Amino acid sequence: MAGVGNGTTIDHIQVTYAKDDAYEWFGGTVNCKYLIAYKTQDDDFDTDFGYSGNVQFGIALRDSAIADISKSEAFESDNDGNGSDFTPKTTAVFSNMTVIGPRINPTYGKGNTLFLAAAQIRRNSGISIQNTVIAGWPLGILIDETKTTTNGSTYKNLVDSVIRLKNITLAGNTVDVRYDGKSGSTTTTQNVLDLFSTASYNNTILNSSAPDILKLIQPFNYTNPDFTPYASAGPSGNISAALINGANIGTLGLGTSLDYKVNGSFTDAKLQDPFFEKVTFRGAVATSGVNQTWWKGWTVWK
C-alpha cells in the first residue's frame, strides 16, 4: 500500500504464502482491521516512509521452515532507509495483534535460522504496539540503531514515548528484548528492558508459550490453529509479579479471574481514535462474542 489514505476501508484480509511481506505500508494513513498473515516468507507487517494509520485485530502465524535471507520478522518498521527525521514520520499504531513465531518452545523446535525478531523497530521509526501477544520467536522486540545513518534515534523515540510498547505479552521467546547500537553507543539492552518493564506499561514476560502457560488453545497448529484464550486463565484475585515473570501461569483472557494489569487497556492517548474498538483483552481474539470468531469461516489454513 503506497500512500493509501484513510478514506479507504481495509478489513477481513488474509495473505497466504507471501514471498516477500504480507502487508507493507509505504506512507499513508489508511486504517486496517482483521488482518491475517499465514506462512509469510519475509515480514508480516512492514511499515515505513511515514505510515501513520491504525491497525487492530491481526494474526500472524509463521511456518518454522519458511524464512527470508533478509531475515524475517512479524513487524519491521523504519522511518525511511536512512533513519532520517523527515516527516511525515512512521507512527503507525497496532493494537490487539497475535503474532506466532517459529518456536513452540525456546529450547527446541527452533526452525529456520533466518528468523530474527517478532518486532524489529529501527531507522528512527515511531511505531507503537499495544495489547499484543508475541510468542515463539528467537527474539521478541529489537530496538535497532545499527542502520540509522542520520541523526534519528529509535531509542530516543522509545524514551520520549513516541514509540509506545504497552500491554504486551512476550511468551516463549528465546530472548525477549534486545538493543543493537552502533559501535561506541552507551545505550544497552538493559536500558530497553527497564523501559519495557515500566510498571504502568503492564507488559508481561512468560518463559514458555506452552498451552498451560500462554493459555491459548493451539496457536502453533499450522493446519487447524486456534488463537482463542482459555475462558479462565488463572486463579481469582491478583496475580503476583513473581508468578507472571516466572511463567508459572498464563495471563490472557477476559473476566474477573485475571488481574486487570494483564488484560488489555485503551487508556493510552494513541488509542483514542474512534477507529479502535475499546476491548478488554490483549491479543487478536477474545474468549467469547464476535471478537472470538471474527477470524473463522472465511480463512484457509493449508
Residue in the block written with cell 497466504: 16
Burial class (CB in 10 A: 0-12, 13-18, 19+), 150: middle
Q: What is the pLDDT of residue 105?
A: 65
Q: With 60 as the cut, is the pLDDT of residue 236 above it?
A: no
Rounded CA gap, 77 and 103, in Å? Answer: 22
Per domain, the residue ranges of the chain are 9-293
Burial of 190 (0-12, 13-18, 19+ CB in 10 A): exposed
Between CA 30 and CA 53 the distance in angstroms is 5
Q: What is the mean pLDDT of residues 164-168?
A: 95
Q: Which residues of 213-232 are buried (b: 16+ CB within 10 A; e: fewer)?
A: bbbbeebbeeeebebbbbeb
* % of the chain residues with pLDDT over 90: 69
Phi/psi of residue 77, each to 5°?
-140, 130
Q: Is 66's pLDDT higher than 80?
A: yes
What pLDDT score does 55 carry?
A: 98
pLDDT digits (tens, 9 = 90+) for 25-43: 999 999 999 999 999 999 9
Which of 131-145, 150-164, 240-254, 261-275 bottoms out in mean pLDDT, i.e. has the lowest? 240-254
DSSP 272-292: -STTS---S-SSS--SSSHHH
Closest to 276 measured CA to CA, from 53, 46, 15, 22: 53
Q: Does residue 241 register a pLDDT over 60?
A: no
Band of pLDDT at residue 259, cut at 50, 70 and 90: very low
**Residue predicted with more confidence, 162 or 235:** 162
3-state secondary structure of 136: coil
Q: What pLDDT shows up at residue 256? A: 31
Average pLDDT over residues 258-266: 63
Residues 168, 245, 211, 102: what is their CA dihedral angle, to the nearest 10 degrees?
60
pLDDT of 262 > 60? The answer is no
Alpha helices in the chain (DSSP H): 154-159, 189-196, 211-214, 241-245, 290-293
Mean of pLDDT values over 122-147: 95
Q: What is the pLDDT of residue 235?
A: 44
**88 cis-preceded (ω within 30 degrees of 0):** yes
For the ranges 82-86, 94-98, 290-294, 297-301, which has the lowest average pLDDT? 82-86
> Percentage helix, strand, coil, to 5, in the chain?
10, 30, 55
Structure confidence by residue, pLDDT tens digits, 167-214: 999 988 999 999 999 888 999 999 999 999 888 898 888 877 877 778
Confidence of residue 73 (pLDDT cuts 50, 70, 90): very high
The answer to whether 137 and 174 are in contact (CB under 8 A) is yes
Question: Would the pLDDT of 13 be above 70?
Answer: yes
Residues in the chain, total:
302
* Grid cell digits, residue 128: 507503537
Q: Indicate whether 255 pLDDT > 90.
A: no
